[in-house]
Chain A
Amino acid sequence: MSGSSAAVIRGKGRRVIVVGSGVSGLSAVLDLVRAGVPVLQISSGPTRQSPSARSQEGIAVALDRSDQQRSDHRSASQAQIVGRAAQPLVEHLVEQAPMLVEELTSLGVPFCRDPSGELGRVTLPGWGGLPVVSAGATTGQQVAAALERQVRGFDWNQAVAPFDPGARPQPLLERLEYWDVLGLIQDDHGVAIGVLACDQRTLALRAFAADAVCLATGGLAGLFGMSGSPGAAGAALGAALRAGAVVANLGRIGWEPTCLDGAVKRPLGSLLCSLGARLWSPRGEMRGLAPTALAADECELWPAKDRANPDALSQALRRRIAGGSPVFLDLSHLDRDTLSTRARWALELVRFFGDADPFAGPVRVVPCPSGSRGGLWVDCETDLEGRIVLDSPRNQATSVSGLYAAGGIEWLHCQVGALPGNRLTAGMLAGRLAGAGIRAYQSRIETSAFALPQSVFDRALEALESRLGRDASDRPPREGASALQIQERLADVAVRVARRDGRAEQWRAALTAVEDEMSGCDVLAAERRQSPERRAALHWDGLRTVVRTLVESAALELSSGADAGRGLREVMMRWEAGVLECVDAFEYQCGGHAVAVSSDTGMDRPDDIAGAAPIGALSMPDVPGCEGEGSTQRRGDRPEVIAKPPGQRTLVLRVLRQDALERPTTRRWESYEVPYDGGSTLADALRAIQLRPITADGRRVNPIAFEYECREGSCGACTVLTNGRATRACTAKLGEISPRGKPVSVAPLTKFPVVRDLVVDRSRLDTDLGAIAVAFDRDGLLDGAAVLQPPATQQVVYALSRCIGCAACLEACPEYGSHTDFVGAAVLAEIDCRELSPRADHGRGRRLAVATGVGGIDECGKSGNCALVCPVGVPLTDSLGRLSRVAARRWLAHWAQA
């Protein structure tokens, strides 16, 4: 394995690892790969499940590059929640955003067009008059998909990195999806030289060597119940913390001001507010009146200017709610058409989950914690004028040498990306800066990770295995909380911290109680090795570290008075030999130099973390009833809530289970009784069963393995067969599936291999999509040629780009299956989408070879099921029709030539 020293100095041909497949991760990968640095990309799920792919708000950008617009952008950004450290990044963002938009357009993101085919831009009242471009109702999905297509293009091409003499040639890009990163491997000097990761499918552990590691795993939304499982949210951050990385402002909580109330709080995003939705709450008591019955002077309205900072707005709203007045979001005065095109997704959420017509009357909303405004501390080197030095190895570098971070996991992006309309561009820029930083770092390192003996990595793996296996060794099995329940409890502590609910001592006590329970758990016992329990247990370490840090950091924020609005100061912390300490100034190694950092507060630092002051002015008890029934217990799916209250309707779910891949003999139906009401979805019920895995006849069984992520129907992860039909579990209301309370059968998709229980391996779809992805040369993207597109074409392309990869069309297709080569409607629609996009000549031959070859459009049986079952309404049959025409023409042309 060891290469020549020349190779190390050249810094090429040596792999780096990027963790995460959101917009930041993909941008980092693209930057590195385009520069010829081989990359191993590890992600816990596909891009479509990443939070950035769900961003709906569009991109605020000074498109004209006029000074006025730029300063608008700058001031709109700086007036808000950005601290001093992130200012250069804002400046950089204002400069780069137009280029990013141009590049994204070239990559085929279907931004809305005006009649002349130019980029259509609107100014939103909420964003200080800055033009906003968007692809329609869901911009994040299209941006993430465009970047992923590029990455897939490289991956599928199996391009080989420029290799060193004597070294084995290696692929330029390898991707591991459904792997969780559990730990960081460091050498004797603490330099990051690789990661320890776990395959979610087999739960096998592996060590991966790398010259540098970039974490782009996103923020803590999962911890606050905004997406997916809490475990994955914290695993990578926890690993970095345990490795000694400094974390900044973790206890500063980011809030989503407008969430739908309910057992699961669903954020509506900032778009509705930006489009002019009114937020109001009654001045006096509601007196039992309907919200529409209140006269205007009885209501208090929040003016648009007070809404720029979502955190401040949330606190104001919380104060109202704590005072007993509900808060309403009112769209009734707005133009329906504008809203329906630009904010369709949010409207659908209101209609579906809020059970209300958003135009008919006000909708009750609650603010919810959605993540942290802090994260891993990362550096950012600026020159004397305060501009970012682009090729500096310090950019996006954490305090652990060789460890980089980009996106929601690091503190700079948490500030810049929190500004409405800047999240996607900030994520892309962070990824690029990290890529450039890693390249600079790699060219400066003296010894590569690949020059180290294999035993280093073996030892790290053994250490992890022994740490994880420790609990399983000889402790007698104990009936206690399951690993998933403990994970939920950890998350609940985090939510209490976020809501500033109680005092710091209480948080610590709660956390300690959960940790005690962990130590007595038997989840790693052999018979449960493959269950979701084990995956949850693997995340404990990381999650515990994150929550502990969050508690202490929040306590410090409180005691310093930052919560009470007494200025912002950076709160930096670090784990050192198992102890969490607060750091004011520290030194870290980067590219052979020691860099000194100080938190540069200008404020007094509180004396002691342990002696945290009582909760400040903003500590409000959650008033029962004002935040819905689940307010004190955040998740409606907690077992305590599930316990059947008298008189509640219950339903029997029959679930088809299977223990492991290639073990179809273990297939069996198990019945579970779940309580439900009008709003309960199948995903809620399955989650409840996961947490309390007891069958209808009272047997305790292994929790059901079940994939879910967004909880709002925009990622497609949770598609299962419900009574034989492909459905997204998170948007299937139990009351609608079974109006008369008949048992509901739930089974995994039949067209894919079952990994376990309801989880299937849909990699065939990804492989087929990869086969048509084409990587563009980046230089060719910005050749100055304006890419024009008629609005009608844009609308078709946008509709096609809404595919969420749920595979419902493949499941319902009578011709698709393991016995045929047919690629299915999803892939054909993607081909059609690319054919209609700008730069369709790139890779056309390969796309059409797939479309018109064996397994292509000719295999279509024209049953039309695909379009009918598509949950997002992609016009699939139109695509198939267009491709049929293309195929026919190609065939005729071929025979005309011959």
Chain B
Amino acid sequence: MTTPPPSRSTRLGHGKLLELPNSPIEAVALSADSSETGSTSVERRENSLRRLFSLVGVVPLGVFMVVYLWTTANAMRGREAFESARETWTGHPFAWLVVLCGFWVPFAFHAGFGIRLLWRSRPNALRYPSARNWAHALQRVSAAVVMVFVAAHAWHFRGRSAIASSEADSFGRLCGDLSSTQLGLPLVAAGYLVGLAAVVYHLSNGLYGFCRTWGLVVVDRQGQRLAGIFGALGLVLYVIAASTVIYFATGSTLVLAPSPGRVDPGVGACTVSAPAAVAVGESGDPGGQ
């Protein structure tokens, strides 16, 4: 009598099962030509989420971020330039759809999945203090800051204006908020500087991670060069963003010299919008005057 061969299974990765034939020779044959074993649907989904996470961080979130910062930076050329630049993007009837699909949905996904990753990561830059390891740890720290910052910023402008349902005077409100001081300190402006630093850092380091994740860069040396390039890009972006903030807060421009003929209208704008600053709660000395 013959005993039927028992059905057996074996580990694949963690917890997956794979039926195996009985003799070692068959097992060899199986391992030799099973080119597509494994990849279960769960695995595929997990993979896809990971890759999507990496992708949306660059397109559209990264792109959106650059455009957004650039548009805002137009403020340094005055209220009109700012409003017209803003109009280019928001004047469209489907602008809300663009913002929803181009920013909010990807952002929600990126943040949601990111929180999961954040939860699993155990940064150890204090024990292994290398530049890349600090970059890794800061990416996670900045992620948390970005989430808070974006939420606060959005609530401030979109949320409130949606409730007030008034045509928001963004320029004025920015001026008011950023030039306000709390307890004698420009906390809002400082918060913006930190938040923007986190955004820009997260983006530029994320670009490096993107290139590695998608295999655009393989060799370590290339990676280091690339990290340098992205770092420089990030720095430029941050200088622009920070000077915009400083402009709103103090009225002085650091980077973009005001165009001739529009001599410092921003200061006037800020002064005009002083009541807005008062409305925020604390009185301040807008425009640093």
Give the contacting residue for A724; candidates B13, B37, B127, B133; CB below 8 A. Answer: B127
A309 at interface (Cβ–Cβ under 8 A)?
Answer: no
Assess whether B48 is in contact with A891, with CB atoms less than 8 Å apart. Answer: yes
Chain A residues with CB under 8 A of B36: 845
Are A165 and B1 in contact, CB atoms less than 8 angstroms apart?
Answer: yes
Please provide the chain A residues from 688 to 724 with a CB less than 8 Å away from any CB of chain B in the complex.
Answer: 724
Which of A812, A819, A852 has a CB less than 8 Å from the CB of B47?
A852
Take A724-B127, A849-B39, A858-B51 as given contacts and tell me if A889 and B215 are in contact as well, using a CB distance cutoff of 8 Å.
yes
- Report B19 CB to chain A, min CB distance, Å: 11
Q: In the bound complex, do residue A158 and residue B20 qualify as a contact, i.e. CB atoms below 8 Å apart?
A: yes
Q: In this assembly, does A475 line the interface, its C-beta being within 8 Å of a C-beta of chain B?
A: no
For A814, give its contact among B1, B51, B121, B208 (CB under 8 Å): B121
Over the window 856-883 of chain A, the binary record of Cβ atoms lying under 8 Å from chain B Cβ atoms (1 yes, 0 no) is 0010111111011100000101101110
| Set of chain A residues within 8 Å of B218, measured between Cβ atoms | 878, 881-882, 884-885
B133 touches A863 (CB 8 A): yes
B43 contacts which chain A residues (CB < 8 A)? 849, 853-854
Say yes or no: is A748 at the interface (Cβ < 8 Å to chain B): no
Q: Is B147 an interface residue (CB 8 A)?
A: no
Q: Do B130 and A887 touch across chains, with their CB atoms under 8 A apart?
A: no
User: Are B22 and A160 in contact (CB-based, < 8 A)?
Assistant: yes
Which residues, 3 to 46 on B, are CB-close (under 8 Å) to A?
A: 3, 5-6, 8, 10-14, 20, 22-25, 27-29, 31-32, 34-39, 42-44, 46
Residues of B within 8 A of A895 (CB): 48
Q: Would A865 and B128 count as touching, CB distance under 8 A?
A: yes
Contacts of A864 in B (CB 8 A): 130, 132-133, 136, 220
The smallest C-beta distance from A7 to any residue of chain B, in angstroms, reads 12
State A820–B121 Cα separation when bound (angstroms). Answer: 9
State how many angstroms separate the Cβ of B222 from the closest Cβ of chain A: 8
Q: A841-B32, A862-B136, A888-B215 are in contact. Are A868 and B128 (CB under 8 A)?
A: yes
| Complex-state Cα separation, A867 to B120, whole angstroms | 21
Contact B122 A777 (CB under 8 A): no
Question: Is A774 an interface position by the 8 A CB rule?
Answer: yes
Cβ of A679 under 8 Å from chain B: no
Q: Which of A149-157, A394-402, A495-503 is the contact stretch?
A: A149-157
* CB-based contact A158/B220 at 8 Å: no
A128 contacts the other chain (CB 8 A): no
Contacts of B136 in A (CB 8 A): 814, 861-864
**A853 contacts which chain B residues (CB < 8 A)?**
13, 38-39, 43, 46-47
- Determine the distance from Cα of A819 to Cα of B124 in the docked complex, in whole angstroms: 16
Quick check: A821 and B215 within 8 Å, CB to CB?
Answer: no
Report the Cα distance A855→B6, complex, angstroms: 30
- Encoded as 1 (CB less than 8 Å from any A CB) or 0, chain B from 127 to 141 comes to 110101101110000
Judged by a CB distance under 8 angstroms, whether A299 is at the interface is no
Residues of chain A lying within 8 A (CB to CB) of residue B213:
858, 862, 884, 888
Measured in the bound complex, the distance between the Cα atoms of B288 and A407 in whole Å is: 85
Interface size class of B (residues with CB under 8 A): 35 or more
How many angstroms from the CA of A812 to the CA of B129 in the assembled complex?
A: 11
Asked if B27 and A159 sit within 8 Å, CB to CB, the answer is yes
Inter-chain contact A858/B219, CB cutoff 8 Å: no
Q: How far is the CB of B211 from chain A (nearest CB, A)?
A: 9
Which residues does chain A contribute within 8 Å of B27, judged by CB atoms?
A: 154, 157, 159, 775
By CB atoms of chain A within 10 A, which of B13, B20, B43, B216 has the most?
B13
Contact with A along B171-206 (1 / 0, CB 8 A): 000000000000000000000000000000000000
Q: Indicate if B102 sits at the interface (CB-CB under 8 A).
A: no
Chain B residues within an 8 Å CB radius of A162: 23
The reply to whether B34 and A846 contact each other, CB–CB distance below 8 Å, is: yes
Asked whether any CB of chain A lies closer than 8 Å to the CB of B2, the reply is yes
Q: How far is the CA of A605 from the CA of B115 in the complex (A)?
A: 81
Known: A166-B3, A865-B124. A843 touches B48 (CB 8 A): no
Would B220 and A877 count as touching, CB distance under 8 A? yes
Q: Report how far A777 CA is from B122 CA in the complex, Å.
A: 42
Question: Is B81 an interface residue when CB atoms closer than 8 A count as contact?
Answer: no
Partner of A158, one of B10, B48, B124: B10
Q: Which of A767, A878, A885 contacts B220 (CB 8 A)?
A: A878
Task: Check if B132 sits within 8 Å of A862, measured CB to CB.
Answer: yes
In chain A, what residue has the closest Cβ to B20? Answer: A157
| A885 in contact with B31 (CB, 8 Å) | no
For the complex formed, measure the closest distance between the CB of A68 and the CB atoms of chain B, giving whole angstroms: 38
Q: Is B51 a contact of A888 with CB atoms below 8 Å?
A: yes
Query: Can you list 12 A-B pairs, Cβ within 8 angstroms, ordered by A?
Result: A725-B127, A812-B128, A814-B136, A817-B122, A850-B38, A855-B13, A858-B46, A860-B212, A862-B132, A865-B124, A878-B218, A882-B218
For the complex of A and B, the 6 pairs showing the least CB-CB separation, nearest first, are: A885-B215, A849-B38, A863-B136, A864-B132, A881-B218, A159-B24
Q: What 18 additional pairs, Cβ within 8 angstroms, besides A160-B8, A821-B13?
A: A36-B24, A156-B11, A159-B22, A159-B27, A165-B3, A815-B120, A846-B12, A846-B38, A849-B43, A853-B43, A853-B47, A854-B47, A863-B133, A863-B135, A864-B130, A884-B214, A889-B215, A891-B51
